[in-house]
Structure 1
Amino acid sequence: MQQPREPELNFNQVKKDINLVDLVLTLGYQHNRAKSGSDIEKGKFHTFDYKGKPGLDQVIIYKNPAGDYLYFNRADDRDKGSVIDFLKHRIENPRIDGVVATPGKNIWASVIENAKRFLNLPAAERSTSHQLQQRIEPLQRGDTYVPDFLRKTTPLTDTAYLMHRGLSPETLASPLFTGRILNHVHTGQTKEGRPYKFVNTAFPQVYQDSIVGLEIKANGFKGQAADSLNSSALWLSNTNSKTTTLVVAESAIDALSHYQLKQPTNALYASTSGQVTDNKVTELKRLVENNNLKTVKLALDNNLEGHLFDTRLIVGLARPATPMGIVRTLPGLITVAIHSVQDEPVSRLHREAKAYNQQVLESYRKVAGPEAVPGPTLDIELIKASKVGDHSYQFHVPKRLETLAAFNQSLINAFPMVARVELEKSKANDWNDQLKEQLKEKSQAVGQEPTTAPEQEPRPRRGPRL
């Protein structure tokens, strides 16, 4: 006798039969009560960490006005939606146990197979969450998710740290920076049980128009707020009707210092928070395109790392017709690959590289003597070029400050960019150092002690995240 066929499972049935909260709990996610909802007992957004570790995976579940359970992932704006999306994304991006691709089947069939596996689990192996579900209230119009770190921020009133860094009240009061600098209040208890309270300075980090993190600074300390997504985010100033130029600095303090020194009227400031990633470059390009900006000023630190950041940003800002990138990084050398169907830009870059090499050679012979034969000592200081395929070239650039500065300018001269790109370096290591030196000189000129003597930018220190 033929066995009756199991009813076909479709997406609508999956959404009806599988509760998203039950599914994530069964898969090993843990409810992070401290970060869920407007208070611990009752709230609208509930955080779940895989195996209790947000670094492995984290989803935030809520109920829409129709009563459907949906989720999103702060670390990936594509990872959001229904239980179908949850399964699909984790099949395509494996990172948890219990959700896997089904051999020989496409992604949609794999979603159904994973749903079946969950529905066929014995009741004892499935987690249920009736009480938790009752506490998750449906969203109403205007409800938005507020990260835990933002609940600890207040409008900027304590400016002691910023003043200590040489920034003036006029700079901080500029409409460019309204709402872009906050105070972050950190409270706790000492080992002896005494309460304490720190008011730090916080710079919101923005990704696709949403605040996704905080860069926190105080005298002797800098770090990121817990759960910050710094790898994709930028600190940004406001714009105005005159904005035509994007100024990119390594830190918000440097951006503010640059403004105080230069007083531009047409600038949008961006800080990379000390690192330049592919995601940050993409965000900068999006800013240029969305705001129809005409010029990008790279005002990163005047040191080796700052010049390397320049290179990374320049290759990222090249027009799509001439893709380029850093394909190799060694302790003393970087390799930049360029694909160009037009010969002239490559020829120009090659000519300017040869001109730089000639300057290096002449400088070498001034010391070594005109008859000196170039050897390995000189060879490693020269920019070298090679053709590696049809319309494909590589330039090998020594990691020296003056070499990178020359090569970066030559890249800008030779190739079209998404906007006009300019290099602007401070006279000191960074713009805040230059501001401090200027304040010191002014004070000495009038025979006064400097009113501000900010210390050097502290290195990030390990410890509890705020």
Structure 2
Amino acid sequence: MKTNLNVVCCPRYCGIMLDRNDELENFKKLNLCDYAASRGFVADRRASSKHSMVLRHPRGDKLIIGRDPSGKYYYFNAKGGDSGTIIDLCQMLDGGNLGDVRKTLRAFDGSIDHHVPSSPLPFVLQPSEHDAARVLAAWMSMRPINSGHAYLTNIRSISAEVQTDPIFRDRIRIDAKGNAVFPHFNRSGLCGYELKNGNHNGTTFTGFAPGGVKALACSRPRDTDREAVICETSIDMLSIADREGTDHRRFFSTAGQISPMQAECLRSAISRMPEGSRVVLALDNDDGGRKIAARIKEELAHSGVPIVEHYPPVPGQDWNDVLQDRRNAAKPEMRLG
């Protein structure tokens, strides 16, 4: 016989459980960077930014730590493969159950009589709207292209010389799936990356970093740069660099239509160009390219820098089309006889 039982929660018991759950949630807002430092991890200043901190341990673990808008800290272990909050890190380091974790973290946050040293870290981690730690962890797991990427060389006809040019050093990597990866930077540092791949059958893959945000892919700046060349994609950026050369040029990709944040990044980038520079809008020869050009000109209207539009010669083309046409025209004809 079935019966309906009304389960009534004891107020005292429910209150205790709520308090214990609240305690766990509060633990997640403890400064995970300071906690890791107290456990022997050392901050890597060069690899860190204000939205993601890298800490290394002598035994080999490498943590990438971020902070979300709610104030909770989280980490990825680039060497060990574990991830999570301060609770997960505590269990990874010490083992034990949640009761053991509570004792450890109560001691760390001062809930019991325990001295917590002042932070030895270079800065306080700032909350990020995007998953900065996840993006950095993924980027650090990728490898440099060395002599070039097969997709860029064989399918896109971009020379290995351009791919390995010093201005593009570490601006192209390869992920575990073989994709060509182009990092995007905002004013705080690495914030995302473009993904590209394909084959001779015409199958192509385009993606963007999970948890990342679009900003600007770019070449490395030089004091001798006099042109800021703005393209729609990283493929176009490399293509026009290959076709027209890299001397005195600083290259940028927006990965498509620009957001307000990208517009801010462009204004900042142009303000850092050497005196006497100009902006070259090397966009697609189509309605989409012209819309982007109009938007960029509007955003840079008060920059005081001359802006010129530079399109492929044939309607509908992008700059990789132009490069491919030149490569095909240079191939010797096959004659029978």
| TM-score (ref. length: structure 1) | 0.45
For 1:155 and 1:307, locate their aligned partners in 2 and report how far apart those are by CA, in whole Å.
34
Q: Partner of 2:167: helix, strand, or coil?
A: helix
Check if 1:206 corresponds to 2:206: no
Check if 1:420 corresponds to 2:306: yes
For 2:108 and 2:193, locate their aligned partners in 1 and report how far apart those are by CA, in whole Å.
29
Aligned to 2:243: 261
Alignment deviations for residues 257-300 of structure 1 (CA, whole Å, 9 cap, x no partner) = 00111114111000001121122122111111123352000111
In 2 relative to 1, CA 258–442 (structure 1 residues): closer, same or farther, beyond 3 Å?
Answer: same
Runs (5+) with no aligned partner, structure 2? 1-21, 33-51, 76-100, 110-116, 126-131, 199-203
Q: Which runs of 4+ in 1 moved over 4 A?
A: 26-29, 35-39, 42-50, 132-146
Check if 1:238 corresponds to 2:220: yes
Contact 1:47/1:58 (8 A) holds in 2: no
Aligned to 2:85: none
For 1:58 and 1:439, locate their aligned partners in 2 and report how far apart those are by CA, in whole Å.
53
Q: Partner of 1:199: helix, strand, or coil?
A: coil
In 2 relative to 1, CA 218–243 (structure 1 residues): closer, same or farther, beyond 3 Å?
Answer: same
Alignment of 1:403-414 (within 5 A): none
For 1:214 and 1:287, locate their aligned partners in 2 and report how far apart those are by CA, in whole Å.
18
- Flag the structure with higher strand content: 1
Alignment deviations for residues 388-414 of structure 1 (CA, whole Å, 9 cap, x no partner) = xxxxxxxxxxxxxxxxxxxxxxxxxxx
Contact 2:224/2:274 (8 A) holds in 1: no
Aligned to 1:223: 207
The Cα of 1:135 is off from its aligned counterpart by 8.8
For 1:215 and 1:238, locate their aligned partners in 2 and report how far apart those are by CA, in whole Å.
17
In 2 relative to 1, CA 61–301 (structure 1 residues): closer, same or farther, beyond 3 Å?
Answer: same
Alignment of 1:42-441 (within 5 A): 46-47=65-66, 59-60=72-73, 130-131=103-104, 140=121, 147-157=136-146, 159-163=149-153, 164-185=155-176, 198-208=177-187, 210-219=189-198, 220-230=204-214, 233-292=215-274, 294-319=277-302, 418-428=304-314, 429-441=317-329
In 2 relative to 1, CA 24–208 (structure 1 residues): closer, same or farther, beyond 3 Å?
Answer: farther
For 1:23 and 1:280, locate their aligned partners in 2 and report how far apart those are by CA, in whole Å.
39
For 1:142 and 1:156, locate their aligned partners in 2 and report how far apart those are by CA, in whole Å.
32
Alignment deviations for residues 151-182 of structure 1 (CA, whole Å, 9 cap, x no partner) = 32111135101102100122112112111111
For 2:165 and 2:149, locate their aligned partners in 1 and report how far apart those are by CA, in whole Å.
14
Give the alignment's Cα RMSD to 1 decimal.
3.8
The Cα of 1:427 is off from its aligned counterpart by 2.1
Contact 1:246/1:270 (8 A) holds in 2: yes
- Percent identical residues: 22
Aligned to 2:36: none
Aligned to 1:391: none
For 1:222 and 1:275, locate their aligned partners in 2 and report how far apart those are by CA, in whole Å.
15
For 1:430 and 1:133, locate their aligned partners in 2 and report how far apart those are by CA, in whole Å.
59
The Cα of 1:312 is off from its aligned counterpart by 0.6
Contact 1:249/1:270 (8 A) holds in 2: yes
Contact 1:299/1:423 (8 A) holds in 2: yes
Which amino acid in the other structure matches residue 224 of structure 2?
K
Alignment deviations for residues 51-95 of structure 1 (CA, whole Å, 9 cap, x no partner) = xxxxxx675379xxxxxxxxxxxxxxxxxxxxxxxxxxxxxxxxx
For 1:205 and 1:134, locate their aligned partners in 2 and report how far apart those are by CA, in whole Å.
40
For 2:297 and 2:170, locate their aligned partners in 1 and report how far apart those are by CA, in whole Å.
30
The Cα of 1:418 is off from its aligned counterpart by 2.3
In 2 relative to 1, CA 37–438 (structure 1 residues): closer, same or farther, beyond 3 Å?
Answer: same
Runs (5+) with no aligned partner, structure 1? 1-21, 51-56, 63-127, 186-197, 320-416, 450-466
Which amino acid in the other structure matches residue 73 of structure 2?
I
Contact 1:45/1:60 (8 A) holds in 2: no
Aligned residue pairs, count: 240
Which amino acid in the other structure matches residue 250 of structure 2?
L
